[in-house]
Structure formats: structure tokens, C-alpha cells
């Protein structure tokens, strides 16, 4: 099933993300975690491509195995340090493994990257190519607090519109911790004439290290009410985990209550966190 059909269905969509291992020796552990999350019967699962500490090597295989378990899956694909030839072979691979949906991304620019050899500059170029290849449902990334490289949110939205016009059928947001920022972003998107569905990306913060990593990665604002939890429970790992899950759950309930139909949880290969969130929402997403 294509992701666009999942997120535009009647039922609220709650999906989870996993990332592939860095080393082959960790493949079984990652697969075990991914399968445990799949058993929770999420609306779909997505598998990153060279992000979150993993490599790009196993994305297609993990996505294929998740589909075989009956969970619609989506493979991420980045282009910045890739070639047209490599992208086409990845598309062939995804097609042959029966993957129907791709999140088309630029990827972060590696340090010391030689831009003169670059075959892709922006995600919209990859998305156009996937569209021309044909047959895939295509998603892309968006940033309620703007992409860290963008000069301002208006410029970011102009480029987002180009991405939608290039063939992006839906967007998944970068993590955010203040729902009002997201609602404001949706309003600004609509005013720019971008009306593709948006999946809200929620990251449950379950330890203090993740706070700094999340700010560094996404530049997202941490609201005072969240930082108070970190101050109070940061040095008590189990309490911090419980508080982080409760905070993410409250965000998700507020999103559903405000008419948002699709939420994607950055579950970071943690079945216990995914399970706790699913359990907290059991009646809400019935």
C-alpha cells in the first residue's frame, strides 16, 4: 500500500521510523527491533538511508522485510553525494523488492565535500527523477522551524513549493516540540499555495543526550515546559524516559485533536518506546 493512501485514509495514521545498522554485525539486532515495532501494527514504517548512525546498505532490505510482515513500508533515499547512475540502480533495487513509497531527500552535505562533482543540488531534482522513473509514491521533508541552511522561512517555503511541483505527494516534518509552531507552519504553507498532506514528525526524547543531539541536528526550539522536565528528571534515566514518552504522547493527542491525521514517530529503533506510545494512544487511534 502506498503511503499517500495510508495518510489520507479515514483512520488516524501513526507510523514509526527505524534506521539501518552501521555494521553488518548489527543487522540482526536492528531487524529484531524493527520486527518488534512492526508487531505493534503501525500504519506504516519508514527506513532511513544513511542517517541516525546507519548506512544506506540495508534500507531496501529492511523495508522489504517489513512489507512482508504486512506493514506498509517506505524507504528513504538521499542524493547529495550520489550519482544519477547510483540513484537509478537504487530505484531499480527498490522496484525489484516491491517497495512502493520513497521519501526523497537531499541529505546533509558532507564536510569537505567537493561541490564541483555534484550531480544533485536539491531534493527537488531527485524527486523529479523518481517521478519520471514512474510508479512510486513520493514524499519529501519539510521544516516547521525552517531548514538550518535557509535564510528565512519564506524562502524555505518557496523551495518547498518547487518540491511539491516536482512531484512530492506529501511531506514529513522535521521533529518539533511545540505544536503551535507546526500549526503556524501549516497556515503559512497554505498561504503559499502548498496543499499537499503533511505528516507531523514527533521525537520522544528519552534521555538527556538526545536533547543536545536533537538541537544540534535540527536547530529546533525546546520549549520551557519541556526543559523543566529535563531539569527535573534528566539525571534519573527511567523517570526521564517516562516523562519524554508522556510529553510526546501529549503532543500527539493535541495534534489528533486539532484535526491532524498523520503522525510519524522517530522511534529510533526502540520498540519499548514505540510500544509505550502506541499503548498510550490505544483508544484514540482505534
Positions 184 through 203 that interact with ligand FAD (CB under 6 A): 201
* 105 contacts ligand FAD (rule: CB under 6 A): yes
Q: Is 90 annotated in the active site?
A: no
Nearer to ligand FAD, 162 or 221 (CB): 162
- Does 78 bind ligand FAD (CB under 6 A)? Our answer is yes
Interface with ligand FAD includes 3 (CB under 6 A)?
no
245 close to 204: Cβ distance less than 8 angstroms:
yes
Nearer to ligand FAD, 110 or 259 (CB): 110
Least gap, CB of 224 to ligand FAD (angstroms): 24
Question: Looking at 13, 15, 43, 48, which residue binds ligand FAD (CB under 6 A)?
Answer: 48
HEC assignment per residue over the chain: CCHHHHHCCCCCEEEEEECCCCCHHHHHHHHHHHHHHHCCCCCCEEECCCCCCCCCCCHHHHHHHHHHCCCCEEEEEECCCCCHHHHHHHHHHHHHCCCCEEEEECCCCCCCCCHHHCCCCCHHHHHHHHHHHCCCEEEEEECCCCCCCCCCHHHHHHHHHHHHHCCCCEEEECCCCCHHHHHHHHHHHHHCCCCCCEEEEECCCCCHHHHHHHHHHHCCCCCHHHHHHHHHHCCCHHHHHHHHHHHHHHHHHHHHHCCCCEEEECCCCCHHHHHHHHHHCCCCCC
Q: Which of 20, 21, 50, 144 binds ligand FAD (CB under 6 A)?
A: 50
Q: Which among 162, 150, 164 has a CA at the least distance from the CA of 196?
A: 164
Q: At what angle do helices 271-280 and 237-257 cross, to 10 degrees?
A: 50
Binding mask 233-262 for ligand FAD (x = CB under 6 A): ------------------------------
Looking at 30, 94, 99, 141, which residue binds ligand FAD (CB under 6 A)?
A: 141
Rounded CA gap, 256 and 58, in Å? 33
User: Does residue 127 bind ligand FAD (CB under 6 A)?
Assistant: no
Nearest approach, Cβ of 12 to ligand FAD (angstroms)?
Answer: 19
15 is an interface residue for ligand FAD by CB under 6 A:
no
Least distance from C-beta 51 to ligand FAD, angstroms? 3
**Contacting residue, 123, 137, 198, 273, with ligand FAD by CB under 6 A:** 123
**Smallest distance, ligand FAD to C-beta of residue 138, A:** 12
Q: Which long-range contacts (CB under 8 A, 24 or more apart) does 112-118 make?
A: 113/80, 113/81, 118/80
Nearest to ligand FAD of 14, 229 (CB atom):
14
Among residues 147, 161, 188, 192, the one that binds ligand FAD under rule CB under 6 A:
147
Among the listed ranges 7-15, 34-42, 47-55, 225-233, the one in contact with ligand FAD (CB under 6 A) is 47-55
Q: Which residues are catalytic?
A: 17
Q: What residue ranges bind ligand FAD (CB under 6 A)?
A: 48-51, 76, 78, 103, 105-108, 122-124, 141, 147, 149-150, 156, 159, 162-163, 172, 174, 201
Amino acid at each position: 500500500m502506498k503511503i499517500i493512501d495510508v495518510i489520507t485514509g479515514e483512520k488516524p495514521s501513526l507510523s514509526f521510523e527505524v534506521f539501518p545498522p552501521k555494521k553488518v554485525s548489527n543487522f540482526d539486532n536492528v531487524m529484531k527491533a524493527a520486527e518488534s515495532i512492526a508487531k505493534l501494527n503501525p500504519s506504516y514504517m519508514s527506513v532511513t538511508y544513511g542517517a541516525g548512525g546507519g548506512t544506506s546498505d540495508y534500507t531496501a532490505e529492511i523495508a522489504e522485510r517489513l512489507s512482508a510482515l504486512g506493514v506498509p513500508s517506505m524507504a528513504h533515499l538521499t542524493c547529495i553525494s550520489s550519482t544519477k547512475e547510483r540513484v537509478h540502480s537504487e530505484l531499480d533495487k527498490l522496484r525489484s523488492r516491491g517497495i512502493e513509497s520513497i521519501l526523497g531527500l537531499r541529505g546533509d552535505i558532507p564536510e569537505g565535500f567537493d561541490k564541483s562533482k555534484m550531480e544533485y543540488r536539491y531534493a527537488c531534482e531527485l524527486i523529479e527523477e523518481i517521478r519520471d522513473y514512474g510508479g512510486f509514491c513520493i514524499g519529501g521533508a519539510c521544516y516547521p522551524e525552517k531548514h538550518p541552511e535557509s535564510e528565512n522561512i519564506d524562502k524555505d517555503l518557496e523551495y518547498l513549493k518547487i518540491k511539491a511541483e516536482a512531484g512530492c505527494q506529501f511531506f514529513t516534518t522535521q521533529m518539533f516540540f511545540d505544536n503551535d509552531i507546526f500549526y503556524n507552519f501549516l497556515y503559512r504553507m497554505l498561504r503559499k499555495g502548498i496543499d499537499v498532506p503533511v505528516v507531523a514528525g514527533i521525537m520522544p526524547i528519552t534521555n538527556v543526550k538526545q536533547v543536545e543531539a536533537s538541537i544540534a541536528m535540527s536547530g529546533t526550539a525546546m520549549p520551557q515546559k519541556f526543559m523543566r522536565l529535563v531539569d527535573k528528571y534528566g539525571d534519573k534515566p527511567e523517570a526521564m524516559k517516562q516523562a519524554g514518552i508522556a510529553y510526546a504522547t501529549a503532543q500527539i493527542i493535541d495534534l489528533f485533536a486539532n484535526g491532524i491525521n498523520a503522525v510519524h514517530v522517530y522511534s529510533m529503533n526502540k520498540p519499548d518506546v514505540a510500544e509505550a506510545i502506541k499503548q498510550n494512544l490505544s483508544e484514540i487511534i482505534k
